[in-house]
Structure 1
């Protein structure tokens, strides 16, 4: 019987879940998806699911618990939290019952270190941004290997050499597009603004001001928008859509944050990109956006632009050469990531290594 693996999925947004499902579906062995999955439709998960109780505090989750006496190697370890106690017990019970070869961690310092205490090998995802604090470095040190869900060209400055050497750069792990476009997909289409599930969405007043500033283009907005008021005729609000990629394929210019899902979709479709990085822990989106700008793959503006800036930003975005961003996309990245995980699983399998 083929021994399986586990894949821990972080709760922020849906990008981690989508990435996990795509990779698990491409694996040749059983893969249990593990995480706090409330609010996510797991009916079509490509394998077993282990749902964990929520570990967040009632006053919100900012990546750290603020505990003054928290051990320096941890980010989040609040005391007297029954949800954390139960979730760790479930992970330990799953590991004891199924004897997995390894655990993929996307992402959690605490789960990575807990897996090490369980004597369970890990492959730890390393997100973009400046993650050189002690907890991240200890999680990286504990792992067999690190997986970066972005191309090496977008690596942040200041990452220690030993971390880079331990990293396999998997590229953008977004959903593959049905048909890869030519390098220049055209700049004549509408402006498509994308807000992901991991952020706060947009404000109607800001979007209306932007659309009025560039009246010659239709603006289509995907994702949540807050506020009330009049909006210009060229501004269209669609809310959540089943397939954002279809809208991105029509765009002359895409406006969005620097989250993995948006950047992967824009790169796969060779779209001109105006990147407005959002505040995230460890400067994840800021670092990624700056790297895109250095490569000429996007126009970047930190924060929502004032109305007067929009005409110039749109002109600059439409003048981009899409070959810079499409060069960052690998249509086979999911398959390559699955093959990477499979190689490490086989290396840990005594039934396989004993045959060599």
Structure 2
């Protein structure tokens, strides 16, 4: 089957998700994949998919000459859509781009990550689609309509992180792919990691090899980082002698609170050799950190449908993460057991790579995602795949 993938433009996580899934496809199938997004190449440059396979869509912003605004009110807005300007030439063009490409490239199955409007466009045009389900509470009419119109739903996270209030039929219609991570690069030793830090900012590097202070890495993405930045001054007050690393975007007035502010291609060494990781609860960031023993301190961003809040609560309930309040309480209990460098009295030197029991779960998650991607290459038609692989996997049948 030929696959198409719609990646929403908010942040880079949706594009990153298909990059990870595409990497699981054999070469021939990967070359047939088409990705639709209005995100520019400057904002996200794909690694597993060639630029010739990317359809850069028109934006969907409201225009001054729209007949109706995107959210026009109860009696002017279809209950199945979140946002639907009327008379918007850009949306007309992007709809044509999507449908024309599906027809010209003979795309058999669309995967939508995420857009209720694109889902309804596909359903109205009789195009089969799967819908990516993000964490959070998505029980509004538009989402439920998009879920009902899909052949199935895909959750790129473990079933155990499912919100308790999710309708039963939605859970049953969902394939849980678990966390999907890029293949990790070979890990660094602690001393190799210190050399990496020296290259990032040699003028501000403490003698980590000698002092071995508490290392805290703050990981941020481009979907929003201001809330985490606002915690940096308090973090510095709590741990004045810690070595604090900020990865990703940072506000200029917050750089004074960290020892290194950088952007890196591979966060694996930081996951391995930090004492704590401070991060929001975006899917890609959590997926990368989940199988390491390094404690997570989660600071969920305020997102629609309580997406990151639900993820954070699930991680905390599992004992896999600490809230900011729990982190501060933990530090207050440890203060009497630290030396002047901020190093715990029982901290090992040097710090070694430590993987948690979640590593096996990560192996399973790759198996789930790999099994799904492999299945799309094993059947000649969408109908055959739907009836012989998908429905038995879900243990469901349509109500004919």
Which TM class, normalised by the smaller chain length? Answer: 0.7 to 0.9
Give 2:61's match in structure 1, choosing from 56, 63, 68. Answer: 56
Q: CA deviation at 1:346?
A: 4.7
Structure that is richer in helix per residue? 2
User: Where does residue 362 of structure 2 map in the other structure?
Assistant: 330
1:193 matched to 2:218:
yes
SS at structure 1 position matched to 2:130:
strand
Confirm or deny that 1:22 pairs with 2:20: yes
Unaligned runs of 5+ in 2: 189-211, 335-343, 347-353, 389-400
* Alignment pair present for 1:174 and 2:197: no
TM-align CA RMSD: 3.2
Deviation of 1:237 (Å): 3.6
What's the offset of the Cα at 1:342? 4.2
Sort the Cα spacing of 1:44 and 1:264 in 2 relative to 1 into closer, same or farther, 3 A: closer
Runs of at least 4 residues off by over 6 Å: 315-319, 322-325, 350-353
**Which residue of 2 is the match for residue 184 of structure 1?**
none
Whole-Å Cα distance in 2 between the matches of residues 9 and 204 of structure 1?
A: 27
Question: Secondary structure, in 3 states, of the residue corresponding to 2:136?
Answer: coil
Aligned equivalents of 2:184 and 2:214: distance in 1?
19
Structure 2: distance between partners of 1:341 and 1:205: 40
Preserved CA contact (<8 Å) 1:23 1:334: no
Which of 38-47 and 147-156 deviates more? 38-47
TM-score, structure 2 normalization:
0.74
Task: Name 2:243's counterpart in structure 1.
Answer: 218
What is residue 34 of structure 1 aligned with on the other side?
36
1:42-191 pair list within 5 angstroms:
42=45, 44-47=47-50, 48-57=53-62, 65-68=70-73, 69-178=76-185, 190-191=215-216
Q: Distance in 2 between matches of 1:224 and 1:33?
A: 26
Cα deviation digits, residues 121-175 of structure 1 (max 9, x gap): 1111000000011110111111111110110110001111100000011111232
1:120–1:325: structure 2 CA closer, same or farther, 3 Å change rule?
farther
SS in 2 for 1:19: helix
User: Structure 1 length normalisation: TM-score?
Assistant: 0.82
- One of 314, 338, 343 as aligned partner of 2:375: 343
| SS, match of residue 50 in structure 1 | strand
Structure 2 Cα separation of the partners of residues 316 and 147 of structure 1: 42
Equivalent-residue separation in structure 1 for 2:244 and 2:186 (angstroms): 25
- Specify whether residues 351 and 220 from structure 1 end up closer, same or farther in structure 2 by C-alpha distance, changes over 3 A only: closer
Deviation at 1:219, TM superposition (A): 1.1
CA distance in structure 1 between the partners assigned to 2:225 and 2:12 by the alignment: 14
